[in-house]
Amino acid sequence: MYFFSRFFSVFILFFCFMENGRPGEPIIIAHRGESIFYPENTLAAFRPAKGKADMVEFDVRVTLDGELALLHDSTLNRTTNGDGLFSSTTLSMLKELDAGSWYHPVFTGEKIPTLEEALKTITPFAKSLVEHKTGNAAQYINLFNRLDMKNALILQSFDWDFIKDARKLDPNITLAALGSDELSTSTIQSIKDIGVNIIAWNFKSITQETCDLIHSFNMKLFVWTVDGPDIPVYVDMGVDGIITNDPGLTKGYIQSRKPGNLDLEKGLLAHWKLDEGARDPNSRIVYDLVGKNHGTLYASNPMNNWISSPESSFSGGIELNGDDEYILLPHNSGLDIGKNEMTISLWVKLNELPSEMKRPHAYILGSLEDSCSILMDKKSKEIIFKVTDVNNDFMKPGIPEAKLGKGKWSHIAGIYNGNAGKVLGQSLIFLDGKLIDVHAGRDTKEPPSGGANAIVKPGQTAAIGRKGTWSYGYFSGCVADIRLWNRALSFPEILETSRK
């Protein structure tokens, strides 16, 4: 009790602030913890949410001997080394199980926490969003009162009879009604009538009109479970809470909407503006403005390749025919990233879409090792950012052809962050400053294999317009302003690089 009394005066102010939200910003709620990178509903998943999430959500069930503990599923099979029903297992039996190794061996020995353990772990840095799965309202309310923690949490459930009972037992506890079907005016009113001010709904059923309707009732809207490119959609929609497996990515996007100081020179390894033709139309040298990674243009008549302003969105660019023209970049350590982070940014104008190509691949920027490549893929009908680490684990998020166009300049950026999680890296691809796709862990296997989090594979021989020194994967189109960093740029920095 002493521990929580110490923090009460500080956290009552903090949690009132969180419940009201920040003007123009939703609350970030870590779904089962930072479960994209850690085993869900464990203390190992809750702790990394500090500094990223305003709330941590988790699921609670009643054990055979009447204790409240955490697990999403009704059975133990998926997320522990046990089997059978949770409800047929005592707490002491649950505490013998391993709730971490299913995700990755590094989490072997992680235990199923009790509700009390979860609250005590989360409360010093965030509010808890407690999801009732089983048990009666009195079991929950009594525990909250014993711990003096009802101001440190929100209680939610799909069982609205449970919500009604909780309201009768405690007129002041904050409650949320969970659901997933289409929301009507009558449904919203019925939720409000039982004393609930927060609607926690499946994002797939939420439109801008639904969001506005809920707000017209002076109620708050949380949406679940929102990840990857869906994050910007619902942040911009104006919902009050984003329930996400990836609170770090969500926070990154929210920060991108704020002005700030940017340092795009930090970690910049190479910068090919591709504007040499503006000064010398016969030039075959492509200069790196940062290092010594100067390239050589291979084309029969360079005057036909260089693009000068105003044809390009920049001071210049280059057009390649897709048959035999390319720029070879030097094979040296200057192009080795040397870290488990990197970002690549470039501008491109396509002469053809991926599905229209006669060849399987076309490399806008390609290396023999695919250490970091931007390429068009005919089979998947995408532009792909492929990054490979020293263990030959790779990720390749993509931009679907439906989002691309021909004959117009587009900005493409790829980010690799091997430090995103303890055992999994993360890779993202952007189009014109907007997040399009996100991959976590190596693409060859699903977690718990891990992977794609080590140093970027060194020793690459790269080219603009084909795959390194291979006479393969020639690109047809225009390229300008290619930059390479040995760090993962922030969302605001990606936005800045996408501005013409």
Tens-digit pLDDT profile for residues 96-149: 999 999 999 999 999 999 999 999 999 999 999 999 999 999 999 999 999 999
Pair 414, 429: CB distance under 8 Å: yes
Domain definitions of the chain by residue range: 2-256, 268-497
Mean pLDDT value across residues 472-483: 97
Q: pLDDT > 70: what percent of the chain?
A: 93
**Which residue reads 């930090």 in tokens?**
266
The catalytic residue among 72, 132, 271, 361 is 72
Burial of 491 (0-12, 13-18, 19+ CB in 10 A): buried
Q: Which of 15-24, 135-144, 176-185, 405-414 has the lowest mean pLDDT?
A: 15-24
pLDDT above 50 for 253: yes
pLDDT above 70 for 216: yes
Q: How confident is the model at residue 311 (pLDDT cuts 50, 70, 90)?
A: low
Q: pLDDT per residue over 376-405, tens digit each? A: 999 999 999 999 999 999 999 999 999 999
483 in helix, strand or coil? strand
Homologous superfamily in CATH for domain 2-256? Phosphatidylinositol (PI) phosphodiesterase (3.20.20.190)
Respond yes or no: is residue 72 known to be catalytic: yes
Q: pLDDT per residue over 31-86, tens digit each? A: 999 999 999 999 999 999 999 999 999 999 999 999 999 999 999 999 999 999 99
Task: Give residue 18's pLDDT.
Answer: 43
Q: pLDDT > 90: what percent of the chain?
A: 86
Mean pLDDT value across residues 467-492: 96
**Mean model confidence pLDDT for the chain:** 92
254 in helix, strand or coil? helix
Q: How confident is the model at residue 308 (pLDDT cuts 50, 70, 90)?
A: confident
Pair 387, 393: CB distance under 8 Å: no
Tell me the C-alpha distance between 177 and 201, whole Å: 8
pLDDT above 60 for 7: no
Task: Give residue 450's pLDDT.
Answer: 67
Domain over 268-497 is classified CATH 2.60.120.200: yes
Tell me the C-alpha distance between 247 and 251, whole Å: 6
What is the pTM (predicted TM-score) of this model?
A: 0.92
Is the peptide bond preceding residue 225 cis, with omega within 30 degrees of 0?
yes
Calculated CA dihedral for residues 424, 430, 433, 434, nearest 10 degrees:
-90
Task: Give residue 410's pLDDT.
Answer: 96
Respond yes or no: is residue 31 known to be catalytic: yes
Q: How confident is the model at residue 15 (pLDDT cuts 50, 70, 90)?
A: very low
Contacts of 13 (CB under 8 A, 6+ apart): none
Strands 55-62 and 268-272: unpaired
- The vertex-90 CA angle with 84 and 92, nearest 5°, equals 115
Q: pLDDT per residue over 51-66, tens digit each? A: 999 999 999 999 999 9
Q: How confident is the model at residue 23 (pLDDT cuts 50, 70, 90)?
A: low
Task: Give residue 14's pLDDT.
Answer: 38
Alpha helices of 40-184 — where are they, by DSSP H?
A: 43-46, 91-94, 115-122, 137-147, 160-169
pLDDT above 90 for 449: no
Tell me the C-alpha distance between 314 and 481, whole Å: 8
Q: pLDDT per residue over 268-300, tens digit each? A: 999 999 999 988 999 999 999 998 899 999 999
pLDDT above 60 for 9: no
Q: Which of 24-38, 251-265, 347-361, 393-407 has the lowest mean pLDDT?
A: 251-265
Pair 402, 392: CB distance under 8 Å: no
pLDDT above 50 for 463: yes
